[in-house]
Structure 1
Amino acid sequence: MEREGKHLEYKVAPLKSYLKTVSTFANYGTGRLVFGVSDERQVIGVENPERTALNLENQINDNILPSPDYTISIDAQNLITLTVRKGRNTPYCYKGTAYKRNDSSTVAVSDYEYRNLVMQGSSVTFSELPLFRNWRTEFFLFQPSVQHTAGDTAGFSGYFHYTGNLQSGSRIHK
């Protein structure tokens, strides 16, 4: 049997903590949870697998927002395999928190990672984010640095003229 890792986790039974792993796989990459396997990777199966699979489906639909893309299958040994595919509408959250895998453990994402997930789900890159309106930036704040680097030959200090508050579409004119 395969070793647990970033995209595979074994569980004896579906305790609610597995929903953190569902969040992880939907946010960061397709993965599988296999229920009915002990910590020593021994197959023990799941009692009443059809009812357990229905409970899994209800718990995922009721607790993960937005709803992830997943499939549930039952094999001849009464193992339940839950396959969660990476989603496009990140972040996928359980109880308001998004999760990630660190090797074989599941942990909450940082604020930075959460913001990245929000941008991914919005199909926006950092460079496409709009500038803050009324963000006051005046050329004279960085003019001495430019003059020092370029030199002030031929009256460089009067070369640029800044108009208004820097907003999306604002320009520094010659």
Structure 2
Amino acid sequence: MTIPEPVRRYESRSHEELAREVAEGNDPAAAGQLGARWAELGTRLRESAQALESLADRSGEAWQGPAAEAVRATLAKAAAWSDQATEVSRAVAGAVSGQAEIAARARAEMPPPVSYDPVAMIRESAGDVVALVGLSDRMARRREESEAARRKAIDVMAARDAALRASVPDRVFEAPPELT
């Protein structure tokens, strides 16, 4: 899982940079496939745990004594680890799917940049007295539109990062047990 930096200063970045960051490498379908692979791993680990538990149960009918108990204890340790790994795999699968949705939502909510180039606006109005009359108002409106879109982009990025941090599972894979 990629945990975003706790505090990123998006205010110092351009709207175009923010839009690029939210779009590049944002492939919900690929993330969904990755989540499905984690879920499949969880299923296989659960099947392994069940097989180990079944083997231990069945061995009790035909095999007795200290050696049999030692083998059953070892199988129980392996099954318990497999159960724990199953739960972590399922949590990771859910987190990956959730993060894909978060990234897709951020991409969908990202407003397009509104260009504000005062020099270009002045050039476009040069020689047109009517255009020059309202130029300062148009420039102010365009600047406000551009800044409002940029502020919205900053909010989208901050919300995305907070949601990504919240979606990281709090479980980790334990080391496999010693089986000797």
Asked whether the two chains share a fold, i.e. TM above 0.5, the reply is no
Q: Give the structure-1-normalised TM-score.
A: 0.29
**Greater relative CO (CA pairs within 8 A, separation 6+):** 2
The structure richer in helix per residue is 2
Q: Which has the larger radius of gyration?
A: 2
